[in-house]
Amino acid sequence: MGKIRKILKEEVENYMFFQNLKTIKEHVELLLSKPQEELDKILKKHDWASEHISTAKDDIEEVSNFFVHRQGGLEESKKKDDRCTRIAKRKYDVWPSAYASGAVVRCRKGEIWKDEK
């Protein structure tokens, strides 16, 4: 087993990053294969699951944006920031940050910055 791990590390230093991405993808595909009505019934009793998905989405989006902007783009056309992201970038000194990302989520839920552009 150590030999395989050594070979993997030689190929890609951060192989766990890629393995984690594959695992996330598999779990997302599994959840998406379930009927939405079935999951909705379960979520009504376990709203924590929705919060975890929301947090995970923000984390994955932040990592993806990091790579897109750092390497000149994983995709050719850069997506424009939505209204909430533009406001957060103006209001917070550090971007990305946990506070700014949390504010973006609250804005998208309609909790803050309703009248700002």
Q: Are residues 105 and 115 in the same domain?
A: yes
91 and 75 in a common domain = no
Domain that holds residue 99: 80-117
Quote the longest CA-to-CA distance of the chain: 59
| 64 and 17 housed in the same domain | yes
pLDDT, the chain, mean: 83
Identify the band that residue 101 occupies on the pLDDT scale cut at 50, 70 and 90: very high
How far is 71 from 95, CA to CA, in rounded Å? 17
Helix/strand/coil for 12? coil
Residue with the larger pLDDT of the pair 75 and 69 = 69
Same domain, 86 and 71: no
Domain shared by 72 and 117, yes or no: no
30 and 71 inside one domain: yes
